[in-house]
Structure 1
Amino acid sequence: MAQWLTVIGIGEDGYGGLGANARDALARAGTVFGGKRHLDLLPAEVAAKRVAWPGPFSDAYPMLLALRGQPVVALASGDPMHFGMGATLTRYIERDEMLILPAPSSFSLGAAAMGWPIQDTQLLSVHGRPTETLFRAFAPGARLLILSNDGDTPAQVARMLSESGFQSAHLTVLEHMGGDSERRIEGVADAWNHARCADLNVLAVDCGIPASSSRSHSTLAGLPDEAFEHDGQLTKRDIRAVTLAHLGPLPGELLWDVGAGCGSIGIEWMRTHPACRALAVEANEKRQGLIVHNSRALGVPDLKLVRGEAPGALTGLAAPDAIFIGGGVSDDGVMQTCWKTLKPGGRLVANAVTIQSEMMLVRWRDTYGGELTKLNVSHAQPLGSFDTWRAVLPVTIYSVRKSG
């Protein structure tokens, strides 16, 4: 089918900032969809029927598809393919049926306003997303451009920076860039006292040098144990780093963290890449609360908590690319259910401390192949006026990839 839907990126400069292709598409269109703010930017000479996006936005898809084959325009902010609704529409409408005409994105305008090379700047969005995702991005010397959710976002981010040890971080709010109402507001995180900003804003953050007590962590596996609140059910740092190396997270993959404890494995899995996803399966109510707290504090609030005990709680969950079993290796049906549901080519990693659990992993290795690794870790601790090595319980790690 020929292109019938034109997605036009429009800036604060409105119709006057559009190119000839965009204006021609608007002139031909029978229907124009957009937010009220965007529709109000069009002059009277655009004769098409104007339809404001419904709420929720998902209701717009059948409305658009009902006009399939007719000339339709959808207006979007800036670049529709960068955190925009153009990327969402490609899931419902074939690419060869659409023409996408981007305008400069909010990030491009923000980078230009700040004089920051965009390739050296982290581009983030909390528009319709939990603000806690930003915790993962706070790092010494980092420069962040953040698409705000609303006018309260800058104050929220200032508080988060201060709580994380980045009290001296410099914030710049860029409102209505490219339009008549353009405005710039600046301040420091621990002294931020500005009133609510305009809802349409991009927040530029120069994290600078944090205090020595900052909560900045690497995205590499093996966060300090102190980074997690826990009740003792925690895969310790050295074991956790090796376990995640065996799991081998890749962008977009889904992990089941079975017997999640405080959620450390699933959280570190998701911290490796923004597209990594995880389900934390935990039966203990207190630990469920710890998982929610830790996931938010460490910048991965989208971690999904599954409340219940395996294997029953695993029924109906999306098939995973990788599974970690930290608790319940010897429980009836846990290993079997996990293995059956694991995608072909997926990885299963299970840790054992007891002899009985280790024997179970040995039997699985004999049946399905894979690798067994035993880790013995010791830490230097005081003994009188001297130091000695204190060994923690040895851990057996079983790792296997499911064939075709």
Structure 2
Amino acid sequence: MTVVGIGADGWAGLTAHSRQALCAAEAVVGGARQLALLPPQVTAERITWPTPLRAAVPGLVAELAGRRVAVLASGDPSFHGIARTLTEVLGPGRLHVLPHPSSLSYACARLGWPLEAVEVVNLVGRPVERLAAALYEGRRVLVLAAGPATPGEVAAVLCGRGFGATRVRVLEQLGGAAEHVHEETTAARLAAGAGGPFDPLNVVALECRRDTGERGAPDRPDSADARPLPRLGLTAGLPDTAYEHDGQLTKRHVRAATLAALAPAPGELLWDVGGGSGSIGVEWMRAHPACRAVAVERDAARAGRIVRNARHLGVPDLRVVTGAAPGALAGLPTPDAVFVGGGLTAPGLLEACWAALPAGGRLVANTVTLESEALLAQWYRRHGGELVRLAVASAVPVGGFTGWRQAMPVTQWTVVKPHPGPAGPPPVAPSPSAPTSQEPQ
């Protein structure tokens, strides 16, 4: 199967190799817009992608077996394109990709931006709230639009999170005869109705700017997402004010230590058991765009709050399961790491989490109660790992002076599930050695 990238310039912009592949094909598969760009000399059967596309690919590939097939895709098929899905189905050895310059390459060429220094957010078939994870002062972002409404939707997200001053340019039909670059505006003006209409084939370019003092957006009282983001960093431990919560929130400093223990890596899946406000799952997913998480929360109101927090902070794909663990864990995909933030004493909960983890998987559990602490001590003796107590104190006014207010200490158990090995005695938690004369007392 040959995958041919095509731009807004259509047949005229294709290389001789790409044209030859299309003319030699017995069937050409693509979107209606791409297929309409082909001239009459391409005599192959033209097949429009069915929807939903990803689910339909294996069946369509099977139907076309034995025929010379070409697939048309926008720009570079390996960059946010169909080549990824086809590779997963066919394997890289059965796929020949002929790329065309992507719309993002054209956009950077028109704007004078270095492509490697730009954040890319794909909103084709994806929630617009994903943009929120890319919002940092001064950051340049290119948004792959899903259609003519995308620029306005992007502007609403920016304004609702305190970035109404962001500089916006909409670039249409890049590389084609109808190419047009709109004049620069701000997210606030765009959200208020200025600018447009826009071509369905567009890229939205953003230079992120925070609002300063003046209101940068129209009121949106009907939206739970219409609240400015506090200043956020790339590392774990976002400000507590970033979250909507009812007190069930892993506080900032403990959260940072917890994410460090969980050690998220690209593509890994987390179970956040006893999700509360969803802060652990949210920050796990913010660690890398490929990270995935499932939050399990028995309280329906809190589950709804997790959904809102995930949308507001740019990870709307966080999956929320409403139900009590361990029962609600049945059928979930295998996790790479598990965090238990509540309900530790529920019968069978730790056993179910431990059984679900593959070898090398991590389990982190936090508690503030004596009963749960005793349970963690038992598991620590049985499986080893690390048992620590985290204590945080904050400076507060004491009359005309300042003193320390101690938060409840948190006991945290961290363990990595061992790989199967020769039968032997269970691991024993290490005990501290007696100090020597050379060690501090």
Unaligned runs of 5+ in 1: none
Mapped partners of 2:145, 2:26: distance in 1: 33
Is residue 2:49 matched to residue 1:53? yes
**C-alpha contact (below 8 Å) 1:219/1:268 kept by paired residues:** no
Secondary structure (helix, strand or coil) at the match of 2:142 reads: strand
Q: What is aligned with 2:200?
A: 199
**C-alpha contact (below 8 Å) 1:166/1:207 kept by paired residues:** yes
Is residue 2:349 matched to residue 1:349? no
Secondary structure (helix, strand or coil) at the match of 2:346 reads: coil
Q: What is aligned with 1:180?
A: 177
Following TM superposition, by how much is the alpha carbon of 1:97 offset from its aligned partner in structure 2, in angstroms? 1.5
Mapped partners of 2:212, 2:257: distance in 1: 30
Tell me the amino acid that sits aligned with residue 124 of structure 1. V
Q: What is aligned with 1:158?
A: 155
Unaligned runs of 5+ in 2: 214-227, 420-441
Mapped partners of 1:153, 1:12: distance in 2: 19
Q: Out of 355, 364, 385, which is 1:340 matched to?
A: 355
Q: What is aligned with 2:6?
A: 10
Q: Out of 336, 344, 347, which is 1:321 matched to?
A: 336
Q: Out of 29, 36, 45, which is 1:33 matched to?
A: 29
Mapped partners of 2:364, 2:144: distance in 1: 37
Q: Out of 221, 225, 234, which is 1:219 matched to?
A: 234
Q: What is aligned with 2:145?
A: 148
Q: What is aligned with 2:321?
A: 306
User: What is the total number of aligned residue pairs between the two structures?
Assistant: 400
Secondary structure (helix, strand or coil) at the match of 1:171 reads: strand
Q: What is aligned with 1:254?
A: 269
**C-alpha contact (below 8 Å) 1:136/1:298 kept by paired residues:** yes
Q: Deviations over 1:363-399 (max 9, x none)?
A: 1010001001101111011111111100010110100
Q: What is aligned with 1:389?
A: 404
Following TM superposition, by how much is the alpha carbon of 1:220 offset from its aligned partner in structure 2, in angstroms? 0.7
Is residue 2:281 matched to residue 1:275? no
Q: Deviations over 1:163-186 (max 9, x none)?
A: 222222110101111112211123
Q: What is aligned with 2:222?
A: none
Following TM superposition, by how much is the alpha carbon of 1:38 offset from its aligned partner in structure 2, in angstroms? 1.2
Tell me the amino acid that sits aligned with residue 187 of structure 1. T
> Displaced runs of 4+ in structure 1, greater than 3 A?
212-216
Secondary structure (helix, strand or coil) at the match of 1:172 reads: strand
Mapped partners of 1:63, 1:253: distance in 2: 30
| Structure-2-length-normalised TM-score | 0.89
Q: What is aligned with 1:122?
A: 119
Q: Out of 290, 297, 300, which is 1:285 matched to?
A: 300
Secondary structure (helix, strand or coil) at the match of 1:91 reads: helix
Deviates more, 1:127-136 or 1:185-194: 185-194
**C-alpha contact (below 8 Å) 1:10/1:103 kept by paired residues:** yes
**C-alpha contact (below 8 Å) 1:164/1:216 kept by paired residues:** no
Counterparts of residues 91-130 of structure 1 (less than 5 Å) = 91-130=88-127
Following TM superposition, by how much is the alpha carbon of 1:107 offset from its aligned partner in structure 2, in angstroms? 1.0
Following TM superposition, by how much is the alpha carbon of 1:158 offset from its aligned partner in structure 2, in angstroms? 1.3
Following TM superposition, by how much is the alpha carbon of 1:69 offset from its aligned partner in structure 2, in angstroms? 3.0
Secondary structure (helix, strand or coil) at the match of 1:25 reads: helix
Tell me the amino acid that sits aligned with residue 234 of structure 1. L
Secondary structure (helix, strand or coil) at the match of 2:206 reads: strand
Mapped partners of 1:61, 1:71: distance in 2: 16
Tell me the amino acid that sits aligned with residue 245 of structure 1. A
Identity %: 48
**C-alpha contact (below 8 Å) 1:255/1:279 kept by paired residues:** yes
Mapped partners of 1:361, 1:375: distance in 2: 15
Mapped partners of 1:144, 1:403: distance in 2: 42
Mapped partners of 2:386, 2:95: distance in 1: 49
**C-alpha contact (below 8 Å) 2:272/2:294 kept by paired residues:** yes
Secondary structure (helix, strand or coil) at the match of 1:145 reads: strand
**C-alpha contact (below 8 Å) 2:164/2:210 kept by paired residues:** no
Q: What is aligned with 1:190?
A: 188
Secondary structure (helix, strand or coil) at the match of 1:90 reads: helix
Following TM superposition, by how much is the alpha carbon of 1:210 offset from its aligned partner in structure 2, in angstroms? 4.4
Following TM superposition, by how much is the alpha carbon of 1:153 offset from its aligned partner in structure 2, in angstroms? 1.1
**C-alpha contact (below 8 Å) 2:28/2:71 kept by paired residues:** yes
